[in-house]
Every structure is written in C-alpha cells, then in structure tokens.
Chain A
Amino acid sequence: MQVGTIQNSLNALKSMGSVYGVILVREQTVIYSDCPYGADKVKQLAGSLDDISFYFTKERRQVDQVSFGYDSGNVVIVMDDPHRLVLFHSSIEDVDLIAKSAKAFLLDYQMGMFTEAFAKKQSQQQAYDTVAPPDPTTQQIRSQVPQRPGTQRISLKAEQGFDQTAPIQPLLDPAAGAAPRPQARGR
C-alpha cells in the first residue's frame, strides 16, 4: 500500500472527533505514529500490545477491540492480527465512531497488502514463465505418467455411442437411404 495513502487515511482518522493521536503497528514494529509520545515510548507500547494480544490468543479469546480510560485521556485499540491500530481520544462519547472507522481502515489496509502481495507473486510467476525454458526432465516425467483409466473409459463409451447412433445420421440426408421415420401412432 502506498505510504501516502496510509498517511492520508490515518490523518483523516486523527482529525475525527476528539482523536489526538494515532499509532499503527504490526506485531512489535511501528508502521506509523502521530501522537504526543516519543519514538521510544511508542515502541514500548507496541511491545506491550503484542504481549496483550499474545495473551488473548493463548487463552483462545477473540478480543478485537479494547478501550481504556485514564484520568488524562482514553485509548481505543482495534486488533486484527498481526496489525493493531491505537487511537488516543479525549471523549468517551466518540469511542464507537472512532473504533468503527479504525476497523474500516484496518480492513482496507490489510486488503491492500493482500492485493499487493498477490499482484507481486503473479508478476514474478509471469516473469518466470516467460524466461524459463521447458524443463526436459519434466517433459520426460510427464510422458511416463500413464493416462488416467477414467479418461480411457470415457473415450470407449463415446466410440460405442457413435456406432449405435450411426444409423440415425442419414435422417439429415433422406436421399442417402434414410431409415424409415417412426410412424406416429394414433389412438
């Protein structure tokens, strides 16, 4: 995902309601931080969040949103492993709106990462297909692999079917000695 896109989206989150700080982390790595705390503190916070997330996972709890209130502010954390988005806000009234927007961002961000990884993998595969010559070993192995019995049986049936249906073919051309059409039976 483009750095500019992330920054714009997180800036938009930061300008919501009473939000005064945003941190995006992946496990213990800080991806983005715009808050009143220094880099060291943010890194420590990321480590603690990772410990908390690990604890909940270990306990088989599906915790995806946590809100803490302190005397000097509130923190809402949206977790979607391995990412965590932390938002600092001053009013508890905003918590649901902030968390909802944070979840939407995280979903979008992870989808972007997935699409990017998928596109990269595909282009790598295409480059390999274009450059790599046919492998003779593979060709040889392929020719040694016996045909699936199921395929042969289907082919045999088709042949039998052709023989059986052959007399019907002249119906398309009555001049070529067509078999008599079945008479419609009256009552």
Chain B
Amino acid sequence: MSQDDAAAAAYQDAIKNRTPRYFHASGDNAHGQTGYKDTEAFAENLMVLQECALLLGEKLEMTAVSHAFLYDGAETAGFKYDQTSNPAQPRVVGAIQNRRVPMKEFSEGLDGQMGT
C-alpha cells in the first residue's frame, strides 16, 4: 500500500468513525496522517484561529495563547500549544473531528497527543 493510499484509508476511517484526525505543527510545517489535503485544512484552521486569538488577546491584553477551538457546523476543530516544547520553537498539536464533541473532551484528546 502506498503512502497516499494509507493516508486516504486513515482519512476515510476517521470520517466513518467520526474520530479525531490529529496533526502536529512546528515552525512552518504541519504533519498529519490523513493526507496532504486534510493537513492543509488543519493548517488553514490553525492560521485563522491563531489570528483570531491574537486579535482578541491584543484587545484584552492577553498575549500568550494556549489553545483555540471552534465549532464549525457539525465539525470541531482546534489546536493547543505543547507547553513542554521549546518556547523559541513552539510545537502545536491540533485536530479536526467531524462531530461536535464537548470542548473539554476535545482538549483532553489533544493533551494525549502531546509529545507523540
């Protein structure tokens, strides 16, 4: 099975079972197990959420963002900074799930992916 086929199978499996698709990002790169297109969708979510968090944080004088989650239709998406990573080059763990899961549960899922 090629890498693309494996990624497509992993994506289909996650969609079918409505389980989270996890991603990691550091520097300018994002990595995922569910294919390029899905990783690109995560990267876009990450950029938008980060921008929104910084915009609001600026107004509230809170600059250090720790997480950002959203519900978009029937989907839950978001990211969390890995607090154990090097502050000079922070790592981010994120996910997209095609189900509205409680945000606390979503956050705990991301915690489980830290350092993996």
Residues of A whose CB lies within 8 Å of any CB of B are 37, 41, 44-45, 48-49, 51-52, 55, 61-73, 75, 92-93, 95-96, 99
User: Can you list the 7 inter-chain pairs with the closest CB atoms, starting with the nearest?
Assistant: A70-B62, A71-B64, A69-B67, A69-B66, A62-B73, A65-B71, A96-B102
* A32 vs B57: C-alpha distance when bound (angstroms): 20
Tell me the minimal C-beta distance from A87 to chain B in angstroms: 13
Q: In the complex, what residues of B have CB within 8 A of residue A99's CB? A: 103
Q: In the complex, what residues of A have CB within 8 A of residue B59's CB? A: 41, 44-45, 48
Residues of B whose CB lies within 8 Å of any CB of A are 48-49, 52-53, 55-57, 59-60, 62-73, 78, 80, 102-104, 107
A70 pairs with B55, CB closer than 8 A: no
Q: In the complex, what residues of B have CB within 8 A of residue A71's CB? A: 62-64, 66
> Chain B's interface: helix, strand, loop or mixed, by majority?
mixed
A-B contact pairs, 13 of them (CB 8 A): A45-B59, A48-B55, A49-B56, A61-B73, A66-B49, A68-B57, A68-B68, A70-B60, A70-B62, A70-B64, A70-B65, A70-B66, A96-B103
A68 pairs with B71, CB closer than 8 A: no
A45 pairs with B67, CB closer than 8 A: no
Tell me the minimal C-beta distance from A3 to chain B in angstroms: 26
Contacts A67-B103, A68-B56 given: A62-B66 contact, CB under 8 Å? no
A95 pairs with B104, CB closer than 8 A: yes
